[in-house]
Amino acid sequence: VSRRTQRIVVALSTAAVGSFLLAACVAANTPGAQPNPIFSTDVSATPGMAGAGNMPGMSAMPGMSMSPSQTGGGPPAAPVGPDAVNIDGFAFAPGTLTVKAGSTVTWTNKDEDPHTVVAGGGAFRSQALGSGGIYSFTFPAAGTFDYICSIHPFMHGTVVVTP
Amino acid sequence: MTEDRDPMTMSRRQLIRHSAWFGAAVGLAVVGGEVISHVAGSATATLTRPTLRFAQVSDSHIGFTGPANADVTGSFTRAVDQINGLGYTPDFVIHTGDLTHLATPGQFDQVKQMLSGLETPHVFTVPGEHDSVDDAGQKYRKVFGAGTRGDGWYSFGIAGVHVIALVNTLNMTKLGHLGQDQLDFVKNDVAPLSSDTPIIVFSHIPLFAMYPDWGWGTDDSVQALSYLRRFASVTCLNGHVHQVFSKTEGNVTFFSATTTAYPLPHPGDGPAPKPLTLPAGKLHDALGIREVTYTKGQQALALKERTLP
């Protein structure tokens, strides 16, 4: 019986001891045999997960639990008034909004895609807003706040808060 | 448009040309029959399997609801079934991100359960920006982060190939972003490797400037790729853009994968990367999976794009 021998060089690295190359000759890799991943030895577990048949202990997951706040439904009424920003066509409108300190600004997502409202300095951060989703934030003090949509970070907006 | 002058970016015309070329190249790159005869004890020749073969799936967006695809769960189920029906067991399956649409615990549970139906020894993932939408990836790492480093990156060697899985959907200001910790990881990770080691890199957002106006690029990828410049074969596989695309820069070839959820416009086609609603019956032609094989001694990986059945 002839067996095909395949030479596999396995690179193994350890962060604790430095790094070295281990050249190993793994014999008898018959056609159809699975090559196994070799992970770095300084992590506690294997990244990823096992597929079917490799994880007999994997039990069925419970059904999905969708929390309404995370599906982005939001109140049905869209905001009206000067302290409102619409998210429409992957853009914040108006792009720059000026309000007085103490004002509450309300963003409404009019797109089908989800968006977020995330301040660069961490002053405010919405959850994902689904279609029709609404987020409000009250600005207590003056300042200039640049924000983006963290899902589509090419979307930029600014709120200027005057004293 | 500034992208016409940027060598890292393609103009619309170049893109169309390139897409046409890629469509042809895929046909030629297909690896022939995977027929493996298994007669116990028989000395008859069998077709040798490639050194490494795996499948890529991307952008399942579990939880999406909208006219662009009314049943993303059903589409992803078809993708899982398609991989299970390839006629061989892939050495692993990689999901290149946007597993979920809104990163809810329920969506993560569901996609994990669906991935566990893949008939393969290993399923690997990287997060998309939809998986790290409001918590910098904490919920993602709770489900898929075991054994990873930093904010979820990792590497492994398999069959002589070195695989690096990167996270470029955190701390973004316009484009994808790796960050200094991850750049250091890449640098140190490949330092001991011989330059003839084939390198495969997974990320969600492209590591090349596919269309920066829509965020389709990574702001510090040039630094990461500089650590890979000495390697003879570097292949970067990404998702995010929901369409098949390829580009070669020096020793590195980039392949964007399609999605199992819904198509997005070609770069610059319209004002924004909004989900495209296709005419009835056309959706599954835009969705699909990818097979990747590597055969020792060949520099380039072979890719085969398959549309969903």
pLDDT score, position B227: 98
Q: Give the count of beta carbons closer than 10 Å to the beta carbon of residue A100.
A: 11
Confidence of residue B44 (pLDDT cuts 50, 70, 90): very low
Residues of B in contact with A36 (CB under 8 A): 121, 158
Point out the least confidently predicted range of A3-17, A69-83, B269-283, B291-305. Answer: A3-17
pLDDT digits (tens, 9 = 90+) for B65-83: 989 999 999 999 999 999 9
Q: Is the pLDDT of residue B288 over 90?
A: yes
Point out the least confidently predicted range of A50-54, A91-95, B153-157. Answer: A50-54
Residues of B in contact with A119 (CB under 8 A): none
pLDDT score, position B40: 36
Q: Is the pLDDT of residue A6 over 80?
A: no
pLDDT score, position A71: 37
Measured between CA atoms, the residue of chain A closest to residue B124 is A48
8 Å CB contact of B191 and A19: yes
Contacts (Cβ under 8 Å, ≥6 apart) of B94: B54, B55, B56, B57, B123, B124, B125, B126, B165, B202, B237
Measure CB to CB from residue B174 to each of A15, A61, A153 and give the nearest one: A153
- How much is the ipTM here? 0.72
At B298, give phi and psi (nearest 5°). -105, 135
- Assess whether the previous peptide bond of A37 is cis (omega < 30° from 0): no
Helix axes B105-115, B72-84, angle to 10 degrees: 20
Position with higher pLDDT, B96 vs A7: B96
Q: Which A residues in the span 88-117 are in contact with B, Cβ-Cβ below 8 Å?
A: 89-91, 111-114, 116
Token output for B241: 């853009």
Confidence of residue B48 (pLDDT cuts 50, 70, 90): confident
The greatest distance separating any two alpha carbons of chain B, rounded to the nearest whole angstrom, comes to 65
Most confident of A18-32, A70-84, A109-123, B28-42: A109-123
**What integer is the mean pLDDT of A123-127?**
93
pLDDT score, position A45: 72
With H, G, I as helix, E, B as strand and everything else as coil, classify residue A7: coil
Average pLDDT, chain B: 87
pLDDT score, position B141: 98
Residues of A in contact with B125 (CB under 8 A): 48-49
Whole-model pTM: value is 0.78
Measure CB to CB from residue B48 to each of A13, A31, A71 and give the nearest one: A31
Give the whole-angstrom CA distance, residue B260 versus residue B286: 8
